[in-house]
Protein backbone atom coordinates (compact mmCIF):
# COMPACT_ATOMS: atom_id res chain seq x y z
CA UNK A 1 0.00 0.00 0.00
CA UNK A 2 1.35 3.44 -0.91
CA UNK A 3 2.03 5.96 1.85
CA UNK A 4 -0.55 8.47 0.57
CA UNK A 5 -3.22 5.76 0.41
CA UNK A 6 -2.40 4.67 3.93
CA UNK A 7 -2.62 8.22 5.25
CA UNK A 8 -5.95 8.70 3.50
CA UNK A 9 -7.31 5.72 5.46
CA UNK A 10 -6.15 7.33 8.69
CA UNK A 11 -7.51 10.76 7.84
CA UNK A 12 -10.87 10.52 9.67
CA UNK A 13 -9.02 9.65 12.89
CA UNK A 14 -6.24 12.24 12.75
CA UNK A 15 -7.70 15.20 10.91
CA UNK A 16 -10.05 16.36 13.63
CA UNK A 17 -12.94 16.44 11.15
CA UNK A 18 -15.35 15.10 13.74
CA UNK A 19 -14.17 17.27 16.64
CA UNK A 20 -17.02 19.77 16.38
CA UNK A 21 -19.59 17.01 16.91
CA UNK A 22 -17.72 15.20 19.69
CA UNK A 23 -19.96 16.54 22.44
CA UNK A 24 -23.06 15.23 20.67
CA UNK A 25 -21.39 11.86 20.09
CA UNK A 26 -20.40 11.43 23.72
CA UNK A 27 -22.33 8.61 25.36
CA UNK A 28 -22.62 8.21 29.12
CA UNK A 29 -21.99 4.76 30.56
CA UNK A 30 -21.91 3.07 33.94
CA UNK A 31 -19.40 0.30 34.61
CA UNK A 32 -20.81 -2.24 37.08
CA UNK A 33 -19.87 -5.55 38.60
CA UNK A 34 -21.54 -8.38 40.49
CA UNK A 35 -19.09 -10.82 42.09
CA UNK A 36 -16.49 -9.63 39.58
CA UNK A 37 -18.71 -10.35 36.57
CA UNK A 38 -18.59 -6.89 34.95
CA UNK A 39 -20.80 -4.97 32.58
CA UNK A 40 -21.18 -1.69 30.71
CA UNK A 41 -24.66 -0.22 31.16
CA UNK A 42 -26.16 2.22 28.66
CA UNK A 43 -29.43 4.11 28.62
CA UNK A 44 -31.28 3.12 25.45
CA UNK A 45 -32.80 6.57 24.86
CA UNK A 46 -29.40 8.27 25.08
CA UNK A 47 -27.81 5.64 22.83
CA UNK A 48 -30.48 6.13 20.16
CA UNK A 49 -29.97 9.89 20.34
CA UNK A 50 -26.20 9.53 19.75
CA UNK A 51 -26.79 7.04 16.94
CA UNK A 52 -29.17 9.52 15.32
CA UNK A 53 -26.54 12.26 15.53
CA UNK A 54 -23.99 9.98 13.87
CA UNK A 55 -26.55 8.69 11.33
CA UNK A 56 -26.02 5.14 12.60
CA UNK A 57 -28.87 2.64 12.52
CA UNK A 58 -29.90 1.25 15.89
CA UNK A 59 -30.29 -2.42 14.94
CA UNK A 60 -29.13 -5.77 16.30
CA UNK A 61 -26.00 -6.04 14.14
CA UNK A 62 -24.90 -2.53 15.10
CA UNK A 63 -25.43 -3.18 18.79
CA UNK A 64 -23.35 -6.34 18.57
CA UNK A 65 -20.47 -4.39 17.01
CA UNK A 66 -20.81 -1.73 19.70
CA UNK A 67 -20.66 -4.39 22.43
CA UNK A 68 -17.41 -5.78 21.01
CA UNK A 69 -15.89 -2.28 20.97
CA UNK A 70 -17.01 -1.20 24.45
CA UNK A 71 -16.25 -4.53 26.13
CA UNK A 72 -12.70 -4.72 24.77
CA UNK A 73 -10.39 -4.55 27.81
CA UNK A 74 -7.54 -2.93 25.89
CA UNK A 75 -9.25 -0.44 23.56
CA UNK A 76 -12.68 -0.02 25.20
CA UNK A 77 -14.21 0.28 28.64
CA UNK A 78 -13.74 -3.44 29.30
CA UNK A 79 -16.48 -5.83 30.40
CA UNK A 80 -17.97 -9.31 30.12
CA UNK A 81 -21.11 -7.90 28.55
CA UNK A 82 -23.13 -4.88 27.46
CA UNK A 83 -26.50 -4.04 29.01
CA UNK A 84 -28.82 -1.59 27.26
CA UNK A 85 -31.61 -0.43 29.57
CA UNK A 86 -34.92 0.47 27.95
CA UNK A 87 -38.22 1.89 29.13
CA UNK A 88 -41.25 -0.07 30.34
CA UNK A 89 -42.34 -2.90 28.06
CA UNK A 90 -44.81 -5.79 28.24
CA UNK A 91 -46.31 -4.42 31.47
CA UNK A 92 -42.84 -4.40 33.09
CA UNK A 93 -41.17 -1.40 34.70
CA UNK A 94 -38.02 -1.69 32.57
CA UNK A 95 -36.66 -3.65 29.65
CA UNK A 96 -33.18 -4.71 28.66
CA UNK A 97 -31.00 -5.98 25.86
CA UNK A 98 -28.01 -8.08 26.87
CA UNK A 99 -25.01 -8.70 24.57
CA UNK A 100 -21.90 -10.73 25.37
CA UNK A 101 -18.42 -9.27 24.90
CA UNK A 102 -18.02 -11.19 21.62
CA UNK A 103 -21.20 -9.63 20.18
CA UNK A 104 -23.46 -12.65 20.69
CA UNK A 105 -26.77 -12.18 22.47
CA UNK A 106 -28.28 -13.94 25.45
CA UNK A 107 -31.77 -13.79 26.90
CA UNK A 108 -30.52 -13.88 30.47
CA UNK A 109 -27.54 -12.97 32.62
CA UNK A 110 -28.22 -13.40 36.32
CA UNK A 111 -25.44 -11.09 37.52
CA UNK A 112 -26.27 -8.53 34.85
CA UNK A 113 -29.92 -8.33 35.89
CA UNK A 114 -28.88 -7.49 39.46
CA UNK A 115 -26.57 -4.76 38.16
CA UNK A 116 -29.46 -3.33 36.15
CA UNK A 117 -31.62 -3.43 39.30
CA UNK A 118 -29.03 -1.57 41.37
CA UNK A 119 -28.55 1.01 38.58
CA UNK A 120 -32.29 1.60 38.25
CA UNK A 121 -32.77 2.08 41.99
CA UNK A 122 -29.64 4.23 42.40
CA UNK A 123 -30.71 6.53 39.54
CA UNK A 124 -34.31 6.47 40.80
CA UNK A 125 -35.53 5.18 37.46
CA UNK A 126 -37.73 3.01 39.63
CA UNK A 127 -38.87 4.26 43.01
CA UNK A 128 -39.90 0.99 44.63
CA UNK A 129 -38.05 -2.07 45.86
CA UNK A 130 -40.13 -4.59 43.91
CA UNK A 131 -40.35 -4.30 40.13
CA UNK A 132 -40.20 -6.31 36.91
CA UNK A 133 -37.73 -6.28 34.02
CA UNK A 134 -38.79 -7.40 30.54
CA UNK A 135 -36.26 -9.81 28.98
CA UNK A 136 -36.26 -12.19 26.03
CA UNK A 137 -36.86 -14.96 28.59
CA UNK A 138 -39.91 -13.14 29.96
CA UNK A 139 -40.55 -10.92 32.97
CA UNK A 140 -37.94 -11.14 35.73
CA UNK A 141 -39.10 -10.05 39.16
CA UNK A 142 -36.69 -8.03 41.31
CA UNK A 143 -36.75 -7.62 45.09
CA UNK A 144 -34.23 -4.94 46.09
CA UNK A 145 -33.24 -4.79 49.77
CA UNK A 146 -29.72 -3.36 49.54
CA UNK A 147 -26.64 -3.42 47.33
CA UNK A 148 -25.69 -6.64 49.14
CA UNK A 149 -29.08 -8.29 48.81
CA UNK A 150 -30.79 -8.13 45.43
CA UNK A 151 -33.09 -11.01 44.57
CA UNK A 152 -34.09 -11.89 41.02
CA UNK A 153 -36.85 -14.33 40.14
CA UNK A 154 -35.80 -16.11 36.95
CA UNK A 155 -39.03 -18.10 36.72
CA UNK A 156 -39.18 -21.72 35.63
CA UNK A 157 -36.03 -23.52 34.55
CA UNK A 158 -36.19 -24.99 31.06
CA UNK A 159 -35.74 -28.77 31.10
CA UNK A 160 -37.23 -29.77 27.77
CA UNK A 161 -34.19 -30.39 25.53
CA UNK A 162 -35.68 -28.45 22.61
CA UNK A 163 -36.14 -25.39 24.82
CA UNK A 164 -32.60 -25.35 26.25
CA UNK A 165 -31.67 -26.12 23.40
CA UNK A 166 -29.76 -29.40 23.05
CA UNK A 167 -29.93 -31.85 20.16
CA UNK A 168 -31.84 -34.59 21.95
CA UNK A 169 -34.46 -36.71 20.21
CA UNK A 170 -36.89 -37.08 23.12
CA UNK A 171 -38.49 -34.56 25.46
CA UNK A 172 -37.17 -36.00 28.74
CA UNK A 173 -34.77 -33.88 30.82
CA UNK A 174 -31.09 -34.52 30.13
CA UNK A 175 -29.81 -35.82 33.46
CA UNK A 176 -26.38 -37.48 33.82
CA UNK A 177 -25.99 -38.06 30.13
CA UNK A 178 -22.69 -39.75 29.33
CA UNK A 179 -20.37 -37.70 27.15
CA UNK A 180 -16.89 -38.45 25.84
CA UNK A 181 -14.14 -35.82 25.93
CA UNK A 182 -10.38 -35.80 25.35
CA UNK A 183 -9.99 -35.89 29.14
CA UNK A 184 -12.25 -38.89 29.60
CA UNK A 185 -15.87 -39.70 30.28
CA UNK A 186 -18.13 -37.13 31.92
CA UNK A 187 -21.80 -37.03 32.90
CA UNK A 188 -23.74 -33.89 32.04
CA UNK A 189 -27.06 -32.45 33.17
CA UNK A 190 -28.52 -29.72 30.96
CA UNK A 191 -30.66 -26.79 32.14
CA UNK A 192 -32.00 -23.72 30.38
CA UNK A 193 -32.16 -20.48 32.34
CA UNK A 194 -32.87 -18.27 29.33
CA UNK A 195 -29.43 -19.42 28.19
CA UNK A 196 -28.15 -23.01 27.89
CA UNK A 197 -26.14 -24.68 30.66
CA UNK A 198 -24.23 -27.94 30.91
CA UNK A 199 -23.47 -28.97 34.51
CA UNK A 200 -20.77 -31.47 35.45
CA UNK A 201 -20.55 -32.63 39.08
CA UNK A 202 -17.25 -33.75 40.60
CA UNK A 203 -15.34 -34.35 37.33
CA UNK A 204 -12.56 -36.94 37.57
CA UNK A 205 -9.98 -34.68 35.90
CA UNK A 206 -8.18 -31.69 37.45
CA UNK A 207 -9.11 -28.05 37.05
CA UNK A 208 -6.22 -27.66 34.59
CA UNK A 209 -8.37 -29.53 32.05
CA UNK A 210 -11.58 -27.52 32.54
CA UNK A 211 -10.85 -25.09 29.73
CA UNK A 212 -10.16 -27.85 27.21
CA UNK A 213 -13.31 -29.78 28.09
CA UNK A 214 -15.44 -26.61 28.08
CA UNK A 215 -14.13 -25.70 24.62
CA UNK A 216 -14.96 -29.18 23.28
CA UNK A 217 -18.49 -29.04 24.67
CA UNK A 218 -19.14 -25.52 23.40
CA UNK A 219 -18.15 -26.55 19.88
CA UNK A 220 -20.12 -29.81 19.91
CA UNK A 221 -23.16 -30.09 17.63
CA UNK A 222 -25.14 -31.36 20.62
CA UNK A 223 -25.33 -27.70 21.69
CA UNK A 224 -26.63 -25.86 18.60
CA UNK A 225 -26.43 -22.42 20.25
CA UNK A 226 -23.30 -23.12 22.26
CA UNK A 227 -23.44 -23.66 26.01
CA UNK A 228 -22.25 -22.34 29.36
CA UNK A 229 -20.28 -25.06 31.14
CA UNK A 230 -20.25 -25.43 34.93
CA UNK A 231 -17.73 -27.63 36.76
CA UNK A 232 -18.98 -28.37 40.27
CA UNK A 233 -17.24 -29.63 43.40
CA UNK A 234 -19.83 -30.60 45.99
CA UNK A 235 -19.01 -29.91 49.63
CA UNK A 236 -22.38 -30.99 51.00
CA UNK A 237 -26.05 -30.90 49.98
CA UNK A 238 -26.29 -27.18 50.66
CA UNK A 239 -22.91 -25.95 49.41
CA UNK A 240 -21.19 -26.19 46.03
CA UNK A 241 -18.08 -24.63 44.52
CA UNK A 242 -18.34 -23.82 40.81
CA UNK A 243 -16.08 -22.79 37.94
CA UNK A 244 -17.91 -21.44 34.87
CA UNK A 245 -16.87 -21.12 31.25
CA UNK A 246 -19.42 -18.85 29.59
CA UNK A 247 -20.20 -18.91 25.90
CA UNK A 248 -19.22 -15.54 24.54
CA UNK A 249 -16.63 -14.61 27.19
CA UNK A 250 -14.91 -17.77 28.47
CA UNK A 251 -13.72 -18.31 32.04
CA UNK A 252 -15.53 -15.87 34.31
CA UNK A 253 -15.42 -14.87 37.96
CA UNK A 254 -19.14 -15.42 38.31
CA UNK A 255 -22.23 -16.52 36.39
CA UNK A 256 -25.47 -16.25 38.34
CA UNK A 257 -27.63 -18.08 35.81
CA UNK A 258 -24.94 -20.79 35.88
CA UNK A 259 -25.19 -20.97 39.67
CA UNK A 260 -28.97 -21.32 39.29
CA UNK A 261 -28.50 -24.09 36.74
CA UNK A 262 -26.16 -25.88 39.15
CA UNK A 263 -28.81 -25.92 41.86
CA UNK A 264 -31.50 -27.22 39.49
CA UNK A 265 -29.13 -29.87 38.14
CA UNK A 266 -28.16 -30.84 41.68
CA UNK A 267 -31.79 -31.32 42.67
CA UNK A 268 -32.40 -33.41 39.54
CA UNK A 269 -29.36 -35.56 40.32
CA UNK A 270 -30.31 -35.82 43.99
CA UNK A 271 -27.14 -34.25 45.36
CA UNK A 272 -28.31 -30.73 46.30
CA UNK A 273 -31.26 -29.47 48.30
CA UNK A 274 -33.65 -26.86 46.93
CA UNK A 275 -31.83 -24.07 48.75
CA UNK A 276 -28.04 -23.85 48.71
CA UNK A 277 -25.03 -21.58 48.63
CA UNK A 278 -23.11 -21.61 45.37
CA UNK A 279 -19.56 -20.32 45.64
CA UNK A 280 -17.99 -18.84 42.51
CA UNK A 281 -14.48 -17.36 42.24
CA UNK A 282 -16.00 -13.89 42.67
CA UNK A 283 -18.11 -14.75 45.73
CA UNK A 284 -21.23 -16.50 47.00
CA UNK A 285 -24.81 -16.55 45.75
CA UNK A 286 -27.87 -17.88 47.52
CA UNK A 287 -29.97 -19.97 45.15
CA UNK A 288 -33.39 -21.52 45.66
CA UNK A 289 -35.71 -23.62 43.51
CA UNK A 290 -39.18 -23.44 45.01
CA UNK A 291 -41.12 -26.67 45.46
CA UNK A 292 -44.34 -24.61 45.28
CA UNK A 293 -44.23 -22.29 42.26
CA UNK A 294 -41.08 -24.02 40.87
CA UNK A 295 -39.40 -20.66 40.26
CA UNK A 296 -35.64 -20.27 40.59
CA UNK A 297 -34.47 -17.29 42.64
CA UNK A 298 -31.00 -15.80 43.03
CA UNK A 299 -29.88 -13.46 45.81
CA UNK A 300 -26.58 -11.61 45.79
CA UNK A 301 -24.83 -8.24 45.51
CA UNK A 302 -24.12 -5.70 42.77
CA UNK A 303 -22.31 -2.40 42.66
CA UNK A 304 -21.10 0.50 40.51
CA UNK A 305 -17.40 0.49 39.64
CA UNK A 306 -17.27 3.87 37.90
CA UNK A 307 -19.09 6.12 35.45
CA UNK A 308 -17.85 7.97 32.39
CA UNK A 309 -18.45 8.98 28.79
CA UNK A 310 -17.20 7.51 25.55
CA UNK A 311 -16.99 9.25 22.18
CA UNK A 312 -18.65 7.01 19.57
CA UNK A 313 -17.64 9.06 16.54
CA UNK A 314 -14.36 7.11 15.95
CA UNK A 315 -16.45 3.92 15.82
CA UNK A 316 -18.89 5.22 13.20
CA UNK A 317 -17.21 3.63 10.19
CA UNK A 318 -17.13 0.15 11.76
CA UNK A 319 -20.64 0.44 13.17
CA UNK A 320 -21.98 1.26 9.71
CA UNK A 321 -20.18 -1.55 7.91
CA UNK A 322 -22.48 -4.40 6.75
Residues 317-321: contacts with CB within 8 Å, 24+ apart? 317/12, 318/65, 318/69, 319/54, 319/56, 319/62, 319/65, 319/66, 320/56, 320/57, 320/62, 321/65
DSSP output for 136-195: TTEEEEEEEEETTEEEEEEESPB-SGGGTT---SSSS---SEEEEETTEEEEEEEEESSS
**Catalytic pick from 71, 92, 109, 115?**
109
Cβ-based burial of 1 (10 A; exposed 0-12, middle 13-18, buried ≥19)? exposed
Residue 255 annotated in active site: yes
Residue 299 annotated in active site: no
Peptide bond into 41 cis (omega under 30): no
Q: C-alpha angle 159/160/162, rounded to 5°?
A: 130
96 in Cβ contact with 116 (< 8 Å): yes
Q: How far apart are CA 287 and CA 230, in angstroms?
A: 15
**Catalytic pick from 71, 190, 255, 299?**
255
264 in Cβ contact with 289 (< 8 Å): yes
Q: Which residues are the active-site residues?
A: 109, 255
Amino acid sequence: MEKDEFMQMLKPNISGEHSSSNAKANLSFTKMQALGNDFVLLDEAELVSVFTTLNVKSEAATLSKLAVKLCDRHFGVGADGLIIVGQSKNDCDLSWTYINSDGSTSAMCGNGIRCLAFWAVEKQIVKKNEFNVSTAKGAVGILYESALSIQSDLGLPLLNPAMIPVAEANAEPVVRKEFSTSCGKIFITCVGMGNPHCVIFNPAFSADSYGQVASELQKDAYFPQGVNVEFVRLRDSRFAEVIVYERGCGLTLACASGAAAVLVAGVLEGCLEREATVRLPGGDLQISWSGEDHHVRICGPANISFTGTVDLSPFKRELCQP
